[in-house]
Protein backbone atom coordinates (compact mmCIF):
# COMPACT_ATOMS: atom_id res chain seq x y z
CA UNK A 1 0.00 0.00 0.00
CA UNK A 2 2.79 2.41 1.01
CA UNK A 3 4.77 1.60 -2.15
CA UNK A 4 1.66 2.23 -4.27
CA UNK A 5 1.05 5.58 -2.61
CA UNK A 6 4.66 6.59 -3.22
CA UNK A 7 4.41 5.50 -6.84
CA UNK A 8 1.25 7.58 -7.31
CA UNK A 9 2.97 10.61 -5.72
CA UNK A 10 6.02 10.25 -7.98
CA UNK A 11 3.95 9.77 -11.15
CA UNK A 12 1.74 12.69 -10.20
CA UNK A 13 4.76 15.01 -10.02
CA UNK A 14 6.23 13.61 -13.22
CA UNK A 15 2.97 14.12 -15.16
CA UNK A 16 2.03 17.43 -13.49
CA UNK A 17 -1.24 15.75 -12.55
CA UNK A 18 -3.90 16.60 -10.01
CA UNK A 19 -5.99 13.89 -8.35
CA UNK A 20 -9.65 14.69 -7.72
CA UNK A 21 -11.69 12.22 -5.66
CA UNK A 22 -15.37 11.96 -4.79
CA UNK A 23 -16.48 11.30 -1.19
CA UNK A 24 -17.86 7.88 -2.17
CA UNK A 25 -14.49 6.38 -3.10
CA UNK A 26 -12.54 4.16 -0.67
CA UNK A 27 -10.74 5.94 2.20
CA UNK A 28 -7.25 5.09 0.87
CA UNK A 29 -8.20 6.60 -2.51
CA UNK A 30 -9.46 9.79 -0.83
CA UNK A 31 -6.24 9.99 1.17
CA UNK A 32 -3.97 10.23 -1.91
CA UNK A 33 -6.17 12.84 -3.61
CA UNK A 34 -5.23 16.52 -3.86
CA UNK A 35 -8.88 17.41 -3.48
CA UNK A 36 -11.87 15.46 -2.18
CA UNK A 37 -15.33 16.88 -2.70
CA UNK A 38 -18.92 16.65 -3.85
CA UNK A 39 -19.93 16.92 -7.51
CA UNK A 40 -20.20 20.73 -7.45
CA UNK A 41 -16.84 21.37 -5.79
CA UNK A 42 -15.12 18.79 -8.01
CA UNK A 43 -16.48 20.37 -11.19
CA UNK A 44 -15.27 23.75 -10.01
CA UNK A 45 -11.81 22.37 -9.24
CA UNK A 46 -11.68 20.73 -12.67
CA UNK A 47 -12.51 24.10 -14.25
CA UNK A 48 -9.76 25.99 -12.43
CA UNK A 49 -6.80 23.61 -12.03
CA UNK A 50 -3.55 24.49 -13.79
CA UNK A 51 -2.33 20.86 -13.88
CA UNK A 52 -1.78 19.24 -17.31
CA UNK A 53 -3.51 16.02 -16.30
CA UNK A 54 -6.58 15.31 -14.15
CA UNK A 55 -6.85 11.84 -12.65
CA UNK A 56 -10.49 11.51 -11.67
CA UNK A 57 -11.11 9.10 -8.82
CA UNK A 58 -14.84 8.86 -9.30
CA UNK A 59 -17.36 7.69 -11.87
CA UNK A 60 -17.52 8.28 -15.62
CA UNK A 61 -19.87 11.29 -15.69
CA UNK A 62 -17.56 13.10 -13.25
CA UNK A 63 -14.56 12.54 -15.53
CA UNK A 64 -16.65 13.75 -18.46
CA UNK A 65 -17.63 16.90 -16.57
CA UNK A 66 -13.94 17.59 -15.91
CA UNK A 67 -13.11 17.10 -19.62
CA UNK A 68 -16.00 19.31 -20.72
CA UNK A 69 -14.68 22.12 -18.53
CA UNK A 70 -10.98 21.57 -19.27
CA UNK A 71 -10.82 20.29 -22.86
CA UNK A 72 -7.10 21.05 -23.25
CA UNK A 73 -6.23 18.75 -20.32
CA UNK A 74 -5.89 15.00 -20.34
CA UNK A 75 -8.56 13.49 -18.08
CA UNK A 76 -7.70 9.97 -16.92
CA UNK A 77 -10.05 7.50 -15.25
CA UNK A 78 -8.75 4.64 -13.07
CA UNK A 79 -11.52 2.40 -14.44
CA UNK A 80 -13.75 3.22 -17.41
CA UNK A 81 -16.32 0.70 -16.15
CA UNK A 82 -17.10 2.99 -13.20
CA UNK A 83 -20.48 4.14 -14.46
CA UNK A 84 -23.62 5.37 -12.68
CA UNK A 85 -27.05 3.72 -12.62
CA UNK A 86 -28.70 7.14 -12.45
CA UNK A 87 -26.90 8.43 -15.56
CA UNK A 88 -27.76 5.12 -17.26
CA UNK A 89 -31.45 5.66 -16.50
CA UNK A 90 -31.54 8.57 -18.97
CA UNK A 91 -30.39 7.77 -22.51
CA UNK A 92 -29.79 10.86 -24.66
CA UNK A 93 -32.09 9.73 -27.48
CA UNK A 94 -34.97 9.11 -25.05
CA UNK A 95 -34.38 12.41 -23.27
CA UNK A 96 -34.28 14.26 -26.62
CA UNK A 97 -37.67 12.72 -27.53
CA UNK A 98 -39.10 13.74 -24.12
CA UNK A 99 -37.90 17.34 -24.62
CA UNK A 100 -39.31 17.42 -28.16
CA UNK A 101 -42.68 16.18 -26.84
CA UNK A 102 -42.79 19.05 -24.31
CA UNK A 103 -41.67 22.22 -26.12
CA UNK A 104 -41.27 25.53 -24.26
CA UNK A 105 -39.68 24.01 -21.15
CA UNK A 106 -36.35 25.00 -19.61
CA UNK A 107 -34.34 21.81 -19.24
CA UNK A 108 -32.49 21.34 -15.95
CA UNK A 109 -30.36 18.21 -15.61
CA UNK A 110 -28.64 16.81 -12.60
CA UNK A 111 -24.88 16.49 -13.09
CA UNK A 112 -25.25 12.66 -12.93
CA UNK A 113 -25.84 12.48 -16.69
CA UNK A 114 -23.81 11.73 -19.80
CA UNK A 115 -22.17 14.51 -21.84
CA UNK A 116 -24.84 13.89 -24.54
CA UNK A 117 -27.65 14.56 -22.06
CA UNK A 118 -25.87 17.68 -20.78
CA UNK A 119 -25.67 18.85 -24.40
CA UNK A 120 -29.51 18.74 -24.50
CA UNK A 121 -29.73 20.70 -21.25
CA UNK A 122 -30.14 24.43 -20.51
CA UNK A 123 -28.76 24.40 -16.96
CA UNK A 124 -26.97 21.63 -15.07
CA UNK A 125 -27.37 21.36 -11.30
CA UNK A 126 -25.95 19.26 -8.47
CA UNK A 127 -27.55 18.25 -5.19
CA UNK A 128 -25.78 21.25 -3.59
CA UNK A 129 -27.54 23.86 -5.69
CA UNK A 130 -30.58 22.18 -7.33
CA UNK A 131 -33.19 24.04 -5.27
CA UNK A 132 -31.50 27.40 -5.84
CA UNK A 133 -31.01 26.79 -9.58
CA UNK A 134 -34.74 26.07 -9.93
CA UNK A 135 -35.61 29.10 -7.80
CA UNK A 136 -33.40 31.33 -9.97
CA UNK A 137 -36.01 30.90 -12.72
CA UNK A 138 -39.36 32.80 -12.80
CA UNK A 139 -42.04 31.10 -10.66
CA UNK A 140 -44.22 30.10 -13.63
CA UNK A 141 -41.40 28.92 -15.93
CA UNK A 142 -42.16 25.44 -17.30
CA UNK A 143 -39.30 23.12 -16.34
CA UNK A 144 -38.16 19.66 -17.38
CA UNK A 145 -36.04 18.12 -14.62
CA UNK A 146 -34.00 14.97 -15.13
CA UNK A 147 -33.00 12.33 -14.49
CA UNK A 148 -33.53 11.73 -10.75
CA UNK A 149 -37.21 11.44 -9.75
CA UNK A 150 -36.44 11.58 -6.03
CA UNK A 151 -34.34 14.75 -6.26
CA UNK A 152 -36.92 16.18 -8.69
CA UNK A 153 -39.80 15.53 -6.29
CA UNK A 154 -37.77 16.87 -3.36
CA UNK A 155 -37.20 20.14 -5.27
CA UNK A 156 -40.83 20.29 -6.40
CA UNK A 157 -42.02 19.94 -2.80
CA UNK A 158 -39.66 22.59 -1.48
CA UNK A 159 -40.20 25.15 -4.22
CA UNK A 160 -43.91 24.47 -4.77
CA UNK A 161 -43.31 24.51 -8.56
CA UNK A 162 -46.38 23.22 -10.40
CA UNK A 163 -44.87 23.45 -13.88
CA UNK A 164 -42.18 20.84 -13.42
CA UNK A 165 -42.00 17.62 -15.45
CA UNK A 166 -39.75 15.01 -13.86
CA UNK A 167 -37.85 12.26 -15.69
CA UNK A 168 -38.42 8.82 -14.16
CA UNK A 169 -34.85 7.85 -13.28
CA UNK A 170 -33.14 6.86 -10.03
CA UNK A 171 -29.91 5.76 -8.39
CA UNK A 172 -29.98 2.10 -7.34
CA UNK A 173 -27.92 2.81 -4.19
CA UNK A 174 -30.17 5.54 -2.80
CA UNK A 175 -33.38 3.73 -3.80
CA UNK A 176 -32.37 0.71 -1.72
CA UNK A 177 -32.31 2.32 1.71
CA UNK A 178 -34.93 0.88 4.00
CA UNK A 179 -37.24 3.16 5.99
CA UNK A 180 -38.02 0.28 8.32
CA UNK A 181 -34.35 -0.26 9.15
CA UNK A 182 -33.74 3.46 9.64
CA UNK A 183 -36.68 3.59 12.09
CA UNK A 184 -35.23 0.58 13.94
CA UNK A 185 -31.87 2.38 14.19
CA UNK A 186 -33.64 5.48 15.49
CA UNK A 187 -35.17 3.33 18.26
CA UNK A 188 -31.78 1.90 19.11
CA UNK A 189 -30.09 5.34 19.05
CA UNK A 190 -32.86 7.79 20.08
CA UNK A 191 -30.36 10.66 20.27
CA UNK A 192 -29.19 10.14 16.66
CA UNK A 193 -29.93 12.62 13.89
CA UNK A 194 -30.76 11.30 10.43
CA UNK A 195 -28.70 12.88 7.63
CA UNK A 196 -29.96 12.07 4.13
CA UNK A 197 -28.99 12.62 0.49
CA UNK A 198 -31.89 13.96 -1.65
CA UNK A 199 -31.59 11.01 -4.08
CA UNK A 200 -33.44 8.98 -1.40
CA UNK A 201 -37.18 8.25 -1.53
CA UNK A 202 -39.68 10.67 0.06
CA UNK A 203 -40.62 8.54 3.14
CA UNK A 204 -36.94 8.61 4.16
CA UNK A 205 -36.65 12.35 3.46
CA UNK A 206 -39.65 12.87 5.77
CA UNK A 207 -37.97 11.21 8.78
CA UNK A 208 -34.67 13.05 8.22
CA UNK A 209 -33.26 15.87 10.32
CA UNK A 210 -31.12 17.22 7.49
CA UNK A 211 -31.18 16.66 3.72
CA UNK A 212 -28.26 17.71 1.53
CA UNK A 213 -25.43 16.91 -0.85
CA UNK A 214 -22.46 14.88 0.34
CA UNK A 215 -20.62 18.13 1.16
CA UNK A 216 -23.72 19.43 2.96
CA UNK A 217 -24.02 16.25 5.06
CA UNK A 218 -20.33 16.44 5.97
CA UNK A 219 -20.60 20.11 6.98
CA UNK A 220 -23.72 19.48 9.07
CA UNK A 221 -22.18 16.45 10.79
CA UNK A 222 -19.04 18.43 11.61
CA UNK A 223 -20.69 21.64 12.83
CA UNK A 224 -23.82 20.36 14.59
CA UNK A 225 -23.57 20.49 18.39
CA UNK A 226 -27.01 19.13 19.30
CA UNK A 227 -25.90 15.47 19.41
CA UNK A 228 -22.88 13.25 18.77
CA UNK A 229 -24.57 10.39 16.85
CA UNK A 230 -25.72 10.39 13.24
CA UNK A 231 -27.44 7.88 10.96
CA UNK A 232 -26.02 8.63 7.53
CA UNK A 233 -28.33 7.80 4.63
CA UNK A 234 -26.08 7.91 1.60
CA UNK A 235 -23.17 5.94 0.17
CA UNK A 236 -20.95 5.09 3.18
CA UNK A 237 -17.70 6.37 1.59
CA UNK A 238 -18.58 9.80 2.98
CA UNK A 239 -18.10 8.47 6.53
CA UNK A 240 -14.32 8.52 5.96
CA UNK A 241 -14.22 12.34 5.95
CA UNK A 242 -16.91 12.59 8.66
CA UNK A 243 -14.80 10.48 11.05
CA UNK A 244 -11.70 12.51 10.22
CA UNK A 245 -13.47 15.85 10.71
CA UNK A 246 -15.32 14.84 13.90
CA UNK A 247 -13.41 11.94 15.51
CA UNK A 248 -15.39 12.11 18.75
CA UNK A 249 -18.74 11.55 17.06
CA UNK A 250 -20.47 8.30 16.04
CA UNK A 251 -21.57 7.81 12.43
CA UNK A 252 -23.85 4.90 11.58
CA UNK A 253 -24.23 4.02 7.89
CA UNK A 254 -27.88 3.35 7.05
CA UNK A 255 -28.45 -0.19 5.76
CA UNK A 256 -30.22 -1.10 2.53
CA UNK A 257 -33.35 -3.28 2.30
CA UNK A 258 -31.54 -6.60 1.71
CA UNK A 259 -28.10 -6.80 3.15
CA UNK A 260 -26.00 -9.34 4.90
CA UNK A 261 -23.08 -6.93 5.43
CA UNK A 262 -25.26 -3.96 6.47
CA UNK A 263 -23.56 -1.67 3.96
CA UNK A 264 -24.82 0.03 0.84
CA UNK A 265 -21.78 0.64 -1.34
CA UNK A 266 -21.89 2.14 -4.82
CA UNK A 267 -20.15 -0.69 -6.67
CA UNK A 268 -19.12 1.76 -9.41
CA UNK A 269 -17.27 4.07 -7.02
CA UNK A 270 -15.62 1.07 -5.38
CA UNK A 271 -14.05 0.07 -8.73
CA UNK A 272 -11.53 2.86 -8.12
CA UNK A 273 -8.39 1.45 -6.47
CA UNK A 274 -4.88 2.71 -5.77
CA UNK A 275 -3.47 0.10 -8.17
CA UNK A 276 -5.69 1.32 -11.03
CA UNK A 277 -4.81 4.95 -10.23
CA UNK A 278 -1.08 4.18 -10.43
CA UNK A 279 -1.60 2.25 -13.69
CA UNK A 280 -3.58 5.11 -15.25
CA UNK A 281 -0.86 7.64 -14.40
CA UNK A 282 1.85 5.32 -15.66
CA UNK A 283 0.14 4.45 -18.98
CA UNK A 284 -1.63 7.81 -19.35
CA UNK A 285 -4.87 5.94 -20.10
CA UNK A 286 -7.78 5.30 -20.13
CA UNK A 287 -8.63 8.82 -21.16
CA UNK A 288 -11.98 10.59 -21.47
CA UNK A 289 -12.68 11.65 -25.06
CA UNK A 290 -15.79 13.64 -26.04
CA UNK A 291 -16.72 14.79 -29.56
CA UNK A 292 -16.18 18.59 -29.68
CA UNK A 293 -19.73 19.36 -30.83
CA UNK A 294 -21.18 17.56 -27.80
CA UNK A 295 -18.57 18.99 -25.43
CA UNK A 296 -19.16 22.61 -26.48
CA UNK A 297 -22.95 22.31 -25.99
CA UNK A 298 -22.53 20.52 -22.65
CA UNK A 299 -20.09 23.18 -21.47
CA UNK A 300 -22.71 25.92 -21.90
CA UNK A 301 -25.13 24.17 -19.52
CA UNK A 302 -22.44 23.51 -16.91
CA UNK A 303 -21.10 27.09 -17.15
CA UNK A 304 -24.62 28.41 -16.55
CA UNK A 305 -24.72 26.35 -13.36
CA UNK A 306 -21.29 27.62 -12.25
CA UNK A 307 -22.25 31.24 -13.02
CA UNK A 308 -25.51 30.99 -11.03
CA UNK A 309 -23.68 29.20 -8.18
CA UNK A 310 -21.04 31.95 -8.10
CA UNK A 311 -23.70 34.66 -8.07
CA UNK A 312 -25.51 32.92 -5.20
CA UNK A 313 -22.27 32.44 -3.27
CA UNK A 314 -22.13 28.63 -3.49
CA UNK A 315 -18.61 28.56 -4.90
208 binds, among ligand SF4, ligand 13P, none (CB under 5 to 8 A by kind): none
Distances (CA, A) of 99 to 121, 136, 193, 195: 9, 21, 40, 34
Q: What's the min distance (Å) between Cβ of 214 and ligand 13P? A: 4
Nearer to ligand SF4, 18 or 86 (CB): 86
Give the interface with ligand 13P as residue ranges (CB under 6 A). 38-39, 112, 126-127, 171, 199, 213-214
Classify residue 287 by its DSSP letter.
B
268 binds, among ligand 13P, ligand SF4, none (CB under 5 to 8 A by kind): ligand SF4
DSSP of 252-281, one letter per residue? EEPPBSS-SSS----TTGGG--HHHHHHHH
- Map residues 235-274 to x or -, x wherever contact with ligand SF4 holds by CB under 6 A: x------------------------------x-xx-----
Is position 85 an interface residue for ligand SF4 (rule: CB under 6 A)? yes
Is position 89 an interface residue for ligand SF4 (rule: CB under 6 A)? no
Q: Give yes or no for a contact between 238 and 24, defined as CB atoms under 8 angstroms apart.
A: yes
Nearer to ligand 13P, 114 or 214 (CB): 214
ω before 215 within 30° of 0 (cis)? no
What letters, b where the CB count within 10 A reaches 16 and e where it falls short, cover 172-195? bbbbbbbbebbeebeeebeebbbb
Q: Give yes or no for a contact between 283 and 62, defined as CB atoms under 8 angstroms apart.
A: no
For residue 22, the surrounding DSSP H or E stretch is strand 17-22
Q: What's the min distance (Å) between Cβ of 283 and ligand 13P? A: 27
Q: What's the min distance (Å) between Cβ of 54 and ligand 13P? A: 17
Nearer to ligand SF4, 70 or 89 (CB): 89
Q: What's the min distance (Å) between Cβ of 148 and ligand 13P? A: 9
70 binds, among ligand SF4, ligand 13P, none (CB under 5 to 8 A by kind): none
What radius of gyration, in Å, describes the C-alpha atoms of the chain?
Answer: 19
Count of residues touching ligand SF4 (by CB under 6 A): 11
DSSP of 138-184, one letter per residue? -TT--EEEESBHHHHHHHHHHH--SSEEE--B--HHHHTB-HHHHHH
Is position 59 an interface residue for ligand SF4 (rule: CB under 6 A)? yes
As a whole number of angstroms, the distance between CA 67 and CA 73 comes to: 7
Q: Using CB under 6 A, which residues numbered 170 to 209 contact ligand SF4?
A: 171, 173
Q: Which of 17, 20, 68, 84 binds ligand SF4 (CB under 6 A)?
A: 84
Nearer to ligand SF4, 98 or 177 (CB): 177
Nearer to ligand 13P, 39 or 121 (CB): 39
CA 49: distance to chain centroid? 19
Classify residue 237 by its DSSP letter.
G
- Which residues of the shown chain bind ligand SF4 in the complex (CB under 6 A)? 59, 84-86, 112, 171, 173, 235, 266, 268-269
Amino acid sequence: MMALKEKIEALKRQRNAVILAHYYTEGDVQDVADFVGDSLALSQKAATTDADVILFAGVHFMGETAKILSPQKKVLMPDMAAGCSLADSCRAEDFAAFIAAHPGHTVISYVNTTAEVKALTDIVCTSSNAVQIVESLPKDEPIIFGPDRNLGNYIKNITGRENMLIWDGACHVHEEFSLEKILELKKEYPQAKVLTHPECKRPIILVSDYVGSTAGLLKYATEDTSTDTYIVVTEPGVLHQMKKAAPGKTFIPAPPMDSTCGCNNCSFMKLVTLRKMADALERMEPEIVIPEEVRAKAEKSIRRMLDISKKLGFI
